Each structure stands twice: as C-alpha cells, then as structure tokens.
C-alpha cells in the first residue's frame, strides 16, 4: 500500500479538484439564480457546460504541472499557479461552450465570472486541505520516500538536519555512503558503505531517492555516482557546487556565430528600477502613515522598559557597497557589544531587553527601516544588508558575494522567506540573493511580501 502512495495522492488530488470545480460551478449558479431568477434555466440544463468547464480546467492543470509532485512549493506559489491555470482553463471552456452549445444554451456571462472566481478560491482551499492531510500522513511515515545521502560531511549533515526538521516532506534517511574511512554515523543514520556500494544498497534498502551532498566533488565523480544509479528507478538530486553559485543563470548566446555562455546578467535594470522605486515609495509611505500610532506607543514602551535611546542606528552596506545608517527600534542593552564586539544575535540572546525579546520575535523592531526605504537607502524587497565588518569576511570566501550589492538592500528578501535569516548559512543566503537579483519581477516582490507577513508568527529564526 505504501508503495502506491504517490499514485493514491495524485488520484486524490484530481478527485479533490473535480469536487471543488463542481462545487464552484454550483455556487456560481446559485448566486446568479438569486439575482435573476426568471431568466436562468434549471441547473440540469447546464450539465454539459459543467462537464466542459471541468475537463478544460483539469487538462490545463496538467500542463501547468499542478499534478507533478513539488514538495517545497508554498501555498502562495501554489495560489499563483492555480490563478493562472484556472484563468486559462475558464477562457478555453468559454470558447468551447460558445462553439459547441451556441444553439442549445444561452449561458449567463455573469455566472461564468462567479464560477471563475469561485473555482480559484475553492480549488486553492481543496489543495491546502489535501496538502495538510498528505503532510500529516508523511509525518507519520505513510508514503515516505527512502533516501540515501552520498557524503557524510558537513553538507550531508546539513541535509539530514533539514529533513529531520521537516518531517512533512515525507523523507526517511536510510543512511550515508562515503569513501572516507573515518566517516561516522550522524544522528542515528549509519554509514552503510562506500560509493561503489550504491547499486547494492538501492536494491537491499529499497532506496527511492539519492541525494549527492558532495559540492567539492569533480564533474567526473558526480557522473560516476549518477551512473551507479542508472539501472534503478531512483531519482537523483545533487547539491550545487561553487560553479553553480557563480553561474546560477546561464544562457547561451553568440558573438558573430561563436557560441558564448552568459554567466552574469541582471533582471533589475532600466524601466524596472523606476517601477520598483515607485512601489517602494508608495508602500513605505502608506505603512508609515498607518503604523505611526503603533510606532509612537512602542517608542514610549521602550523608554519605560530600559535606559537608552528609542532608536538604534547601525552601519550597513547597501547598493554598490555604499554604507548607510540603518534604523531600528532598540531591542538590546546599550552596551550589548562592549565585551563581544560585532556578533550576530542568537537564540535566547541575554543581551535583549524584556520588550526587545517580544519585538524581535515579531520583527517589529525593524519598522523604522521603512524610513530607510522612503529615503532610498533600502527597498521593500532585496538582499538583507550586512554590517561592513561581516561583508569583509564573507567576500573573501564566498564567490560572487559582492554581486548581491548590485541591488538595493531590502527589508525582506527571497532568502528570508525561505527560512534563511539569523544565524544561518551565508553561502545558502548568497545563492538565494543572487537568484532573486537575476529573476526579479513585480509579482515575485509581491509574493515575497505576502510570505513575509504570513511568516511573522512562525519564523523560528526570528530572534
């Protein structure tokens, strides 16, 4: 039964979509019926229309890859995909209905508007429910996929920890393989053998997926590992190496017929900069006006809670490496770095004030940064600015680290909404920041802002 779990999950997803599309159609009909009872036919007359609408949407869903398994797709991203798919599916359905039933049924146009909106909402709701049920089953071991990690080093341990922290992904790490004779078990996951043992282990341990956690390995070594998995129906994932960090957006062009690879490009330039700045000004102005009573109250509470100024200014590095003073509500003691020097905040940091613990947990201490956005030092969305002392350390060891400063620093960013804030991997953050700068769009910025708001109460790295 567990081996058929992927098929069962997909079938249940299709059934859920059919039920939600049908329910949206019925509610849309009822809404139209309430507004124009005399000029609408009985529901049974729209059976053919319902069938066409359902089939068209299911086909479009398939081509939009909504029935392909995507473990890490957020609800916001899923909603965007459903919005696009339902919109296209509804347009195609209307075209078919107008052609096939033009002499049989004069369907109400307003009803189709209701159906379009309701289909988006109800299909999204159905998928949230189905996703939560599926994740709950995964967390209890039903339908889990057995994973073998190649490489028991730092990256392998990081991947194992990520899997342990996210049981809803449905992964069960069977163990590691590593050619290093000194490799040891990690968190009760044993080292099962060497890389040459992979084919035998895939069969004996019923491995569904192999994750190669050896970013330092040569291309020849990676291909050797992949070849060992060829005979089995096993999916393979490879942790990216340094070249992939440096060439995250590779495109092929030519110079007079001579092929060239473009490994560095920037999506955010030209008129797009004007659009982004307009969003920044409008968004920061609106927020500062609406939040001014809360900020005034918070300023009073900070003064009453501990000695020191209300605001805390800290030098950060922004666009083109230019330094600026970033504003925050003070959440720590005034002598917080007297003994330690510049350090990152950590969980249960004893330097925080009583009120500071609360406002840092909800990121309220960052509200004054909307002033930085309005002044043009920062943007609503972009790579988070770091202190110059840390930048000097990172630029020496991380390829393309300074390229993240080709864009304006942001209040929130792609790395932050993916859980990379606080004391987390700088290499991983850099990869996310570079991907953002090379794939910027207005819709991506809005998705990041929405996810930031939704993450306020559940972010484990907000301290």
Distance CA 179, CA 166 (A): 28
What is the DSSP-derived secondary structure letter of residue 314?
Answer: E
Distance CA 196, CA 230 (A): 13
pLDDT, tens digit (0-9, with 9 covering 90-100), for 360-395 = 878 888 899 999 999 999 999 999 888 888 888 888
User: How many C-beta atoms surround the C-beta of residue 334 within 10 A?
Assistant: 13
Distance CA 264, CA 182 (A): 39
Q: How far is CA 190 from CA 125, 175, 225, 424, 446, in A?
A: 41, 5, 19, 26, 43
Phi and psi dihedrals of 51, rounded to 5?
Answer: -60, -45
Pairing of strands 258-262, 251-255: antiparallel
Helix (H) or strand (E) run with residue 173 in it = strand 171-177
User: How many C-beta atoms surround the C-beta of residue 45 within 10 A?
Assistant: 12
**Tokens matching residue 170:** 């449905």
What is the DSSP-derived secondary structure letter of residue 341?
Answer: -
All structural domains of the chain, each given as residue ranges with its CATH number in brackets, are 2-139 (no CATH), 145-239 (3.40.50.20), 271-455 (no CATH)
How does residue 206 score in pLDDT terms, banded at 50, 70 and 90? confident
Judged against a pLDDT cut of 50, whether residue 298 lies above it is answered with yes
How does residue 232 score in pLDDT terms, banded at 50, 70 and 90? low
CB within 8 Å of 286: residues ≥ 6 apart: none
Buried b (16+ CB within 10 A) or exposed e, 85-106: bbebbbebbbeebeeeeeeeee
Whether this prediction's pTM lies above 0.85 is answered by no
pLDDT, tens digit (0-9, with 9 covering 90-100), for 397-442 = 787 788 788 888 999 988 888 877 766 777 778 888 888 887 788 8
Distance CA 160, CA 152 (A): 9
**Tokens matching residue 276:** 């982004």
Instruction: Choose from 50-59, 60-69, 392-401 the range with maximum mean pLDDT.
Output: 50-59
pLDDT, tens digit (0-9, with 9 covering 90-100), for 110-157 = 888 899 999 999 999 999 888 888 777 766 667 678 888 888 888 888
The closest of 319, 321, 306 to 388, measured between CA atoms, is: 321
**Tokens matching residue 188:** 């009760």
């Amino acid at each position: 039964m567990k081996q058929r779990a992927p098929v069962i999950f997909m079938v249940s997803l299709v059934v859920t979509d059919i039920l939600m599309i049908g329910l949206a159609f019925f509610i849309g009909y009822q809404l139209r019926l309430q507004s124009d009872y005399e000029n609408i036919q009985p529901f049974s007359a729209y059976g053919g229309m319902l069938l066409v609408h359902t089939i068209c949407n299911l086909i479009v869903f398939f081509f939009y890859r909504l029935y392909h398994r995507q473990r890490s797709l957020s609800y916001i991203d899923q909603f965007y995909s459903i919005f696009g798919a339902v919109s296209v599916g509804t347009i195609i359905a209307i075209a078919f209905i107008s052609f096939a039933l033009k002499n049989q049924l004069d369907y109400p146009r307003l009803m189709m508007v209701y159906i379009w909106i309701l289909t988006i909402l109800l299909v999204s709701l159905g998928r949230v429910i189905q996703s939560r049920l599926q994740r709950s089953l995964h967390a209890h071991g039903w339908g889990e996929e057995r994973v073998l990690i190649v490489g028991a080093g730092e990256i392998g341990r990081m991947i194992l920890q990520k899997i342990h922290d996210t049981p809803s992904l449905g992964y069960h790490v069977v163990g590691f393989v590593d050619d290093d004779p000194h490799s040891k078990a990690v968190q009760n996951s044993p080292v099962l053998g060497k890389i040459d043992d992979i084919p035998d282990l895939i069969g004996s341990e019923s491995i569904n997926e192999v994750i190669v956690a050896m970013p330092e390995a040569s291309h020849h070594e990676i291909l050797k590992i992949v070849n060992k998995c060829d005979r089995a129906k096993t999916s393979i994932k490879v942790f990216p190496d340094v070249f992939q960090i440096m060439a995250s957006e590779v495109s092929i062009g030519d110079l007079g017929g001579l092929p060239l690879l473009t490994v560095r490009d920037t999506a955010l330039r030209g008129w797009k900069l004007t659009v982004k700045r307009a969003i920044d000004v409008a968004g920061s102005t609106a927020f500062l006006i609406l939040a001014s009573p809360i900020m005034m109250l918070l300023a009073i509470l900070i003064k009453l809670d501990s000695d020191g100024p209300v605001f805390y200014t800290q030098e950060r590095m922004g666009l083109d490496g230019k330094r600026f003073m970033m504003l925050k509500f003070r959440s720590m003691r005034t002598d917080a770095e007297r003994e330690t020097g510049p350090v990152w905040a950590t969980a249960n940091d004893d330097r925080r004030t009583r009120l500071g613990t609360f406002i840092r947990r909800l990121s309220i201490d960052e509200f004054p940064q909307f002033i930085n956005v309005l002044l043009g030092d920062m943007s609503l969305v972009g790579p988070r600015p770091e202190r110059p002392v840390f930048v000097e350390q990172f630029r020496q060891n991380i390829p393309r680290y300074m390229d993240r400063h080709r864009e304006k620093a942001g209040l929130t960013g792609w790395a932050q909404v993916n859980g990379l804030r606080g004391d987390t991997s700088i290499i991983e953050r850099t990869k996310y920041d570079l991907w953002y700068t090379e794939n910027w769009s207005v819709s991506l910025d809005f998705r990041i802002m929405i996810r930031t708001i939704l993450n306020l109460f559940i972010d484990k790295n907000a301290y």
